[in-house]
């Protein structure tokens, strides 16, 4: 047990008192993940807003940027990267195209396929936001040493693999 008690510890103590017949220890992990998820969401939303972006837009632009020149992917590849439905990716692409951050064109290699390309404006937007995004993530992890961060990343990876949730690419990374 840590020397510092948090809200989840208090909740666990209350359940231990009220329902000593139940093992409520999973709440210790899931409750803290849920709290952190909220903090991450709010911090990222604030960061992305400074650049006129949101998390879904950032994810698409980042996936295209990571693809390397000529910064192109198919909508299907973007859908797999973002782990969303085709309808959701279409909405994201529509918004990004309206803002001139991406283009969609027929593939020269296969006229039936569509290729999404990061525009110069999209690349500038992503490249401007990325350092601030990384600083936001660093600040969120501030209470952990580098070794702790590596250990936590390893545990979370193991949990995702055990759950069969191994994404093609990490969203937003």
Question: Tell me, what's the pLDDT at 171?
Answer: 46
Distance (Å, rounded) from C-alpha 98 to C-alpha 3? 52
Is residue 28 pLDDT above 50, yes or no?
Answer: yes
Looking from the CA of 140 toward its CB, the CA atoms found within 13 Å total 18
Question: Tell me, what's the pLDDT at 2?
Answer: 61
Burial class (CB in 10 A: 0-12, 13-18, 19+), 74: middle
Mean pLDDT of the chain: 91
Q: Helix (H, G, I), strand (E, B), or coil: what is residue 114?
A: strand
Confidence band (pLDDT; 50, 70, 90) for 81?
A: confident
Lowest-confidence range among 44-48, 77-81, 156-160, 165-169? Answer: 165-169
Confidence band (pLDDT; 50, 70, 90) for 4?
A: confident
Question: Tell me, what's the pLDDT at 166?
Answer: 63
**DSSP designation for 60:** H
CATH class of 50-162: mainly alpha
Closest residue by Cα to residue 59 from 100, 93, 94, 104: 93
Burial class (CB in 10 A: 0-12, 13-18, 19+), 126: buried
Instruction: Classify residue 107 as left (phi > 0), alpha (psi -120 to 50) or beta.
Output: beta
Domain ranges for the chain, please list them: 50-162
């Amino acid at each position: 047990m840590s020397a510092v008690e948090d809200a989840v510890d208090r909740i666990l103590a209350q359940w231990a008192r009220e329902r000593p017949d139940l093992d409520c220890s999973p709440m210790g992990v899931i409750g803290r993940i849920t709290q952190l998820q909220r903090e991450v969401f709010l911090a990222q939303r604030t960061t992305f807003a400074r650049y006129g972006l949101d998390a879904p837009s950032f994810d698409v632009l980042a996936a295209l940027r990571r693809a390397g020149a000529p910064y192109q992917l198919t909508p299907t590849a973007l859908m797999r990267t973002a782990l969303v439905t085709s309808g959701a990716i279409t909405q994201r692409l529509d918004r990004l195209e309206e803002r001139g951050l991406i283009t969609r064109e027929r593939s020269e290699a296969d006229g039936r396929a569509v290729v999404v390309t990061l525009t110069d404006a999209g690349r500038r937007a992503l490249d401007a936001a990325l350092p601030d995004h990384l600083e936001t993530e660093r600040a969120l992890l501030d209470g952990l040493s580098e070794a702790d961060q590596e250990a936590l990343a390893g545990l979370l990876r193991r949990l995702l693999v055990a759950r069969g949730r191994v994404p093609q690419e990490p969203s937003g990374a």
